[in-house]
Structure 1
Protein backbone atom coordinates (compact mmCIF):
# COMPACT_ATOMS: atom_id res chain seq x y z
CA UNK A 1 0.00 0.00 0.00
CA UNK A 2 2.96 2.29 0.64
CA UNK A 3 3.93 2.22 -3.05
CA UNK A 4 0.35 3.04 -4.06
CA UNK A 5 0.19 5.91 -1.58
CA UNK A 6 3.51 7.24 -2.90
CA UNK A 7 2.27 7.14 -6.47
CA UNK A 8 -0.93 8.94 -5.50
CA UNK A 9 1.00 11.59 -3.55
CA UNK A 10 3.30 12.10 -6.53
CA UNK A 11 0.29 12.41 -8.82
CA UNK A 12 -1.27 14.98 -6.49
CA UNK A 13 1.92 17.08 -6.73
CA UNK A 14 1.98 17.26 -10.54
CA UNK A 15 1.31 20.58 -12.27
CA UNK A 16 -1.81 19.13 -13.91
CA UNK A 17 -3.21 18.01 -10.56
CA UNK A 18 -2.44 21.40 -9.07
CA UNK A 19 -4.12 23.15 -12.00
CA UNK A 20 -7.21 20.96 -11.61
CA UNK A 21 -7.43 21.88 -7.92
CA UNK A 22 -6.51 25.55 -8.10
CA UNK A 23 -7.84 26.74 -11.45
CA UNK A 24 -11.17 28.49 -11.22
CA UNK A 25 -12.57 26.97 -14.42
CA UNK A 26 -10.60 23.84 -15.27
CA UNK A 27 -12.22 21.43 -12.81
CA UNK A 28 -15.82 22.52 -13.58
CA UNK A 29 -15.21 22.34 -17.34
CA UNK A 30 -13.72 18.85 -17.07
CA UNK A 31 -16.60 17.80 -14.82
CA UNK A 32 -19.14 19.05 -17.39
CA UNK A 33 -17.36 17.06 -20.13
CA UNK A 34 -17.40 13.98 -17.88
CA UNK A 35 -21.11 14.36 -17.13
CA UNK A 36 -21.99 14.99 -20.78
CA UNK A 37 -20.07 11.88 -21.80
CA UNK A 38 -21.79 9.87 -19.09
CA UNK A 39 -25.18 11.13 -20.25
CA UNK A 40 -24.49 9.77 -23.75
CA UNK A 41 -23.00 6.51 -22.42
CA UNK A 42 -25.72 5.72 -19.91
CA UNK A 43 -28.46 7.06 -22.18
CA UNK A 44 -27.36 4.70 -24.95
CA UNK A 45 -27.13 1.75 -22.59
CA UNK A 46 -30.52 2.40 -20.97
CA UNK A 47 -32.26 2.85 -24.34
CA UNK A 48 -30.87 -0.50 -25.46
CA UNK A 49 -31.82 -2.14 -22.15
CA UNK A 50 -35.36 -0.80 -22.42
CA UNK A 51 -35.64 -2.35 -25.88
CA UNK A 52 -34.44 -5.69 -24.48
CA UNK A 53 -37.09 -5.35 -21.77
CA UNK A 54 -39.78 -5.16 -24.46
CA UNK A 55 -40.28 -1.50 -25.28
CA UNK A 56 -40.48 -0.59 -28.98
CA UNK A 57 -40.50 -4.22 -30.14
CA UNK A 58 -40.82 -3.09 -33.75
CA UNK A 59 -37.17 -1.89 -33.57
CA UNK A 60 -34.71 -4.70 -34.31
CA UNK A 61 -32.54 -5.31 -31.25
CA UNK A 62 -29.39 -6.00 -33.27
CA UNK A 63 -29.76 -2.89 -35.42
CA UNK A 64 -30.49 -0.68 -32.42
CA UNK A 65 -27.53 -2.21 -30.61
CA UNK A 66 -25.16 -1.45 -33.48
CA UNK A 67 -26.38 2.15 -33.63
CA UNK A 68 -26.24 2.82 -29.90
CA UNK A 69 -22.95 0.98 -29.36
CA UNK A 70 -21.19 3.54 -31.57
CA UNK A 71 -22.50 6.35 -29.37
CA UNK A 72 -21.60 4.52 -26.18
CA UNK A 73 -18.06 3.82 -27.36
CA UNK A 74 -17.60 7.36 -28.66
CA UNK A 75 -18.69 8.72 -25.28
CA UNK A 76 -15.78 6.91 -23.67
CA UNK A 77 -13.51 9.37 -25.50
CA UNK A 78 -14.98 11.99 -23.16
CA UNK A 79 -15.65 9.96 -20.02
CA UNK A 80 -12.31 8.22 -19.49
CA UNK A 81 -9.87 11.14 -19.93
CA UNK A 82 -12.18 13.51 -18.04
CA UNK A 83 -12.56 10.99 -15.23
CA UNK A 84 -8.79 10.57 -14.99
CA UNK A 85 -8.36 14.33 -14.86
CA UNK A 86 -10.99 14.62 -12.12
CA UNK A 87 -9.25 11.85 -10.18
CA UNK A 88 -5.90 13.60 -10.57
CA UNK A 89 -7.22 16.62 -8.67
CA UNK A 90 -7.66 14.61 -5.44
CA UNK A 91 -6.10 11.16 -5.94
CA UNK A 92 -5.23 10.41 -2.32
CA UNK A 93 -8.66 11.40 -0.99
CA UNK A 94 -10.58 9.62 -3.74
CA UNK A 95 -8.58 6.40 -3.45
CA UNK A 96 -9.61 6.24 0.23
CA UNK A 97 -13.24 7.23 -0.40
CA UNK A 98 -15.66 4.29 -0.06
CA UNK A 99 -18.18 5.89 -2.42
CA UNK A 100 -15.50 6.28 -5.11
CA UNK A 101 -14.40 2.69 -4.55
CA UNK A 102 -18.01 1.54 -4.88
CA UNK A 103 -18.37 3.56 -8.09
CA UNK A 104 -15.37 1.76 -9.59
CA UNK A 105 -16.73 -1.65 -8.51
CA UNK A 106 -20.12 -0.85 -10.06
CA UNK A 107 -18.46 0.23 -13.32
CA UNK A 108 -16.52 -3.03 -13.40
CA UNK A 109 -19.70 -5.03 -12.69
CA UNK A 110 -21.56 -3.13 -15.42
CA UNK A 111 -18.77 -4.02 -17.84
CA UNK A 112 -18.86 -7.68 -16.82
CA UNK A 113 -22.64 -7.68 -17.14
CA UNK A 114 -22.36 -6.29 -20.68
CA UNK A 115 -19.75 -8.92 -21.55
CA UNK A 116 -21.94 -11.71 -20.14
CA UNK A 117 -24.92 -10.35 -22.08
CA UNK A 118 -23.00 -10.42 -25.36
CA UNK A 119 -21.49 -13.86 -24.70
CA UNK A 120 -24.73 -15.51 -23.54
CA UNK A 121 -28.23 -14.29 -24.48
CA UNK A 122 -27.22 -11.91 -27.27
CA UNK A 123 -25.79 -14.81 -29.31
CA UNK A 124 -29.38 -15.90 -29.98
CA UNK A 125 -30.65 -12.40 -30.83
CA UNK A 126 -31.82 -13.52 -34.28
CA UNK A 127 -34.62 -15.47 -32.56
CA UNK A 128 -35.92 -12.47 -30.61
CA UNK A 129 -34.64 -9.55 -32.67
CA UNK A 130 -38.05 -8.12 -33.50
CA UNK A 131 -41.60 -8.60 -32.20
CA UNK A 132 -40.59 -11.28 -29.68
CA UNK A 133 -39.79 -11.09 -26.00
CA UNK A 134 -36.13 -11.38 -25.11
CA UNK A 135 -35.22 -14.51 -23.14
CA UNK A 136 -35.30 -14.21 -19.33
CA UNK A 137 -31.50 -14.09 -19.05
CA UNK A 138 -31.38 -11.13 -21.46
CA UNK A 139 -34.11 -9.31 -19.54
CA UNK A 140 -32.33 -9.99 -16.25
CA UNK A 141 -29.11 -8.56 -17.73
CA UNK A 142 -30.98 -5.46 -18.93
CA UNK A 143 -32.51 -4.80 -15.50
CA UNK A 144 -29.15 -5.39 -13.83
CA UNK A 145 -27.49 -3.03 -16.30
CA UNK A 146 -29.93 -0.22 -15.56
CA UNK A 147 -29.53 -0.71 -11.81
CA UNK A 148 -25.73 -0.80 -12.01
CA UNK A 149 -25.54 2.37 -14.09
CA UNK A 150 -27.97 4.15 -11.76
CA UNK A 151 -25.66 3.12 -8.94
CA UNK A 152 -22.64 4.52 -10.78
CA UNK A 153 -24.44 7.82 -11.34
CA UNK A 154 -25.57 7.94 -7.71
CA UNK A 155 -22.06 7.30 -6.44
CA UNK A 156 -20.64 9.96 -8.75
CA UNK A 157 -23.14 12.47 -7.46
CA UNK A 158 -22.57 11.49 -3.81
CA UNK A 159 -18.84 12.20 -4.13
CA UNK A 160 -19.62 15.89 -3.72
CA UNK A 161 -21.14 15.19 -0.30
CA UNK A 162 -18.95 12.54 1.34
Structure 2
Protein backbone atom coordinates (compact mmCIF):
# COMPACT_ATOMS: atom_id res chain seq x y z
CA UNK A 1 0.00 0.00 0.00
CA UNK A 2 2.86 2.39 0.77
CA UNK A 3 4.27 1.81 -2.71
CA UNK A 4 0.92 2.66 -4.30
CA UNK A 5 0.58 5.83 -2.25
CA UNK A 6 4.13 6.82 -3.19
CA UNK A 7 3.31 6.17 -6.83
CA UNK A 8 0.25 8.42 -6.63
CA UNK A 9 2.33 11.22 -5.12
CA UNK A 10 4.99 11.25 -7.84
CA UNK A 11 5.41 14.32 -9.98
CA UNK A 12 4.20 12.41 -13.03
CA UNK A 13 0.94 11.41 -11.32
CA UNK A 14 0.39 14.92 -9.99
CA UNK A 15 1.05 16.42 -13.42
CA UNK A 16 -1.37 13.99 -15.09
CA UNK A 17 -4.06 14.78 -12.52
CA UNK A 18 -3.65 18.53 -12.97
CA UNK A 19 -3.32 18.60 -16.74
CA UNK A 20 -6.43 19.40 -18.72
CA UNK A 21 -5.12 17.76 -21.89
CA UNK A 22 -2.38 15.28 -21.03
CA UNK A 23 -4.51 12.72 -19.14
CA UNK A 24 -7.07 12.49 -21.97
CA UNK A 25 -4.23 12.20 -24.52
CA UNK A 26 -2.60 9.39 -22.52
CA UNK A 27 -6.01 7.71 -22.25
CA UNK A 28 -6.44 8.02 -26.03
CA UNK A 29 -2.96 6.54 -26.48
CA UNK A 30 -3.97 3.62 -24.28
CA UNK A 31 -7.05 3.01 -26.42
CA UNK A 32 -4.92 3.22 -29.58
CA UNK A 33 -2.48 0.68 -28.14
CA UNK A 34 -5.34 -1.67 -27.27
CA UNK A 35 -6.84 -1.22 -30.74
CA UNK A 36 -3.51 -2.05 -32.38
CA UNK A 37 -3.02 -5.06 -30.11
CA UNK A 38 -6.47 -6.61 -30.25
CA UNK A 39 -7.09 -5.43 -33.81
CA UNK A 40 -4.11 -7.43 -35.02
CA UNK A 41 -4.37 -10.38 -32.64
CA UNK A 42 -7.89 -11.23 -33.81
CA UNK A 43 -7.03 -11.69 -37.51
CA UNK A 44 -3.75 -13.36 -36.57
CA UNK A 45 -5.52 -15.94 -34.40
CA UNK A 46 -8.31 -16.41 -36.92
CA UNK A 47 -5.66 -17.08 -39.58
CA UNK A 48 -4.02 -19.60 -37.26
CA UNK A 49 -7.42 -21.25 -36.87
CA UNK A 50 -7.76 -21.64 -40.63
CA UNK A 51 -9.21 -18.40 -41.99
CA UNK A 52 -7.71 -16.83 -45.11
CA UNK A 53 -5.85 -19.96 -46.18
CA UNK A 54 -4.68 -18.33 -49.42
CA UNK A 55 -2.77 -15.56 -47.62
CA UNK A 56 0.98 -16.23 -47.22
CA UNK A 57 1.39 -17.18 -43.56
CA UNK A 58 4.92 -15.90 -42.99
CA UNK A 59 4.27 -12.36 -44.21
CA UNK A 60 0.98 -12.14 -42.35
CA UNK A 61 2.51 -13.49 -39.12
CA UNK A 62 5.41 -11.04 -39.28
CA UNK A 63 3.38 -7.91 -39.98
CA UNK A 64 0.59 -8.67 -37.54
CA UNK A 65 2.98 -9.75 -34.80
CA UNK A 66 5.03 -6.56 -35.12
CA UNK A 67 1.89 -4.43 -35.01
CA UNK A 68 0.56 -6.35 -32.01
CA UNK A 69 3.86 -5.87 -30.18
CA UNK A 70 3.82 -2.13 -30.89
CA UNK A 71 0.23 -1.92 -29.64
CA UNK A 72 1.09 -3.94 -26.54
CA UNK A 73 4.04 -1.67 -25.77
CA UNK A 74 1.95 1.46 -26.19
CA UNK A 75 -0.86 0.01 -24.05
CA UNK A 76 1.56 -0.97 -21.26
CA UNK A 77 3.33 2.40 -21.15
CA UNK A 78 0.15 4.47 -21.26
CA UNK A 79 -1.65 2.07 -18.91
CA UNK A 80 1.16 2.43 -16.37
CA UNK A 81 0.88 6.21 -16.59
CA UNK A 82 -2.88 6.07 -16.10
CA UNK A 83 -2.39 3.70 -13.15
CA UNK A 84 -0.17 6.22 -11.32
CA UNK A 85 -3.02 8.70 -11.07
CA UNK A 86 -5.20 6.43 -8.89
CA UNK A 87 -2.99 3.45 -8.06
CA UNK A 88 -4.67 2.66 -4.73
CA UNK A 89 -8.13 2.78 -6.27
CA UNK A 90 -7.16 0.55 -9.20
CA UNK A 91 -5.29 -1.94 -7.04
CA UNK A 92 -8.33 -2.34 -4.80
CA UNK A 93 -10.57 -3.41 -7.69
CA UNK A 94 -10.95 -7.14 -8.26
CA UNK A 95 -11.85 -6.46 -11.88
CA UNK A 96 -8.57 -4.57 -12.44
CA UNK A 97 -6.56 -7.38 -10.85
CA UNK A 98 -8.45 -9.88 -13.01
CA UNK A 99 -7.62 -7.82 -16.12
CA UNK A 100 -3.93 -7.78 -15.26
CA UNK A 101 -3.99 -11.55 -14.64
CA UNK A 102 -5.69 -12.14 -18.00
CA UNK A 103 -3.17 -9.89 -19.79
CA UNK A 104 -0.29 -11.81 -18.20
CA UNK A 105 -1.94 -15.08 -19.27
CA UNK A 106 -2.30 -13.63 -22.79
CA UNK A 107 1.40 -12.79 -22.92
CA UNK A 108 2.37 -16.26 -21.67
CA UNK A 109 0.03 -17.83 -24.23
CA UNK A 110 1.57 -15.70 -27.00
CA UNK A 111 5.04 -16.90 -26.00
CA UNK A 112 3.81 -20.51 -26.07
CA UNK A 113 2.23 -19.98 -29.51
CA UNK A 114 5.40 -18.34 -30.83
CA UNK A 115 7.53 -21.23 -29.63
CA UNK A 116 5.16 -23.81 -31.11
CA UNK A 117 5.13 -21.89 -34.40
CA UNK A 118 8.96 -21.88 -34.56
CA UNK A 119 8.92 -25.63 -33.86
CA UNK A 120 6.41 -26.21 -36.64
CA UNK A 121 3.84 -27.57 -34.19
CA UNK A 122 0.08 -26.94 -34.37
CA UNK A 123 -1.04 -23.68 -32.83
CA UNK A 124 -4.82 -23.90 -33.11
CA UNK A 125 -5.30 -24.36 -29.36
CA UNK A 126 -3.09 -21.39 -28.35
CA UNK A 127 -4.84 -19.32 -31.05
CA UNK A 128 -8.28 -20.16 -29.63
CA UNK A 129 -7.05 -19.46 -26.08
CA UNK A 130 -5.58 -16.17 -27.30
CA UNK A 131 -8.90 -15.04 -28.74
CA UNK A 132 -10.63 -15.77 -25.45
CA UNK A 133 -7.97 -14.12 -23.28
CA UNK A 134 -7.57 -10.88 -25.24
CA UNK A 135 -11.32 -10.38 -25.67
CA UNK A 136 -11.76 -11.02 -21.94
CA UNK A 137 -9.02 -8.49 -21.13
CA UNK A 138 -10.71 -5.98 -23.41
CA UNK A 139 -14.06 -6.47 -21.68
CA UNK A 140 -12.60 -6.34 -18.18
CA UNK A 141 -10.71 -3.16 -19.02
CA UNK A 142 -13.89 -1.54 -20.24
CA UNK A 143 -15.70 -2.42 -17.02
CA UNK A 144 -13.01 -0.84 -14.85
CA UNK A 145 -14.29 2.64 -15.68
CA UNK A 146 -17.65 1.76 -14.17
CA UNK A 147 -16.07 0.62 -10.90
CA UNK A 148 -14.19 3.80 -9.99
Same fold (TM over 0.5): yes
Structure-2 residue corresponding to 1:12: 8
User: In structure 1, what is the Cα distance between the partners aligned to 2:129 and 2:23?
Assistant: 32
Q: Which residue in the other structure is 1:106 paired with?
A: 102
**Gaps spanning 5+ residues in structure 2: where?**
none
Shift of 1:81: 1.5
Instruction: Pick one of 105, 122, 142 that aligns with 1:157.
Output: 142
Equivalent of residue 65 in structure 2, options 66, 69, 79 = 69
Structure 1 residue runs of 4 or more that deviate by more than 6 Å after TM superposition:
none
Match of 1:29 in 2: 25
The CA deviation at 1:21 is: 2.3
Q: For this pair of structures, how many residues does the alignment match?
A: 147
Question: Over alpha carbons, which structure has the higher Rg?
Answer: 1
For 2:73 and 2:120, the matched residues in 1 are separated by: 30
**Mapped partners of 1:122, 1:49: distance in 2:** 16
TM-score normalised by L of structure 1 = 0.84
Match of 1:91 in 2: 87
CA-atom RMSD in angstroms: 1.5
- Alignment equivalent of 2:112, drawn from 97, 113, 116: 116
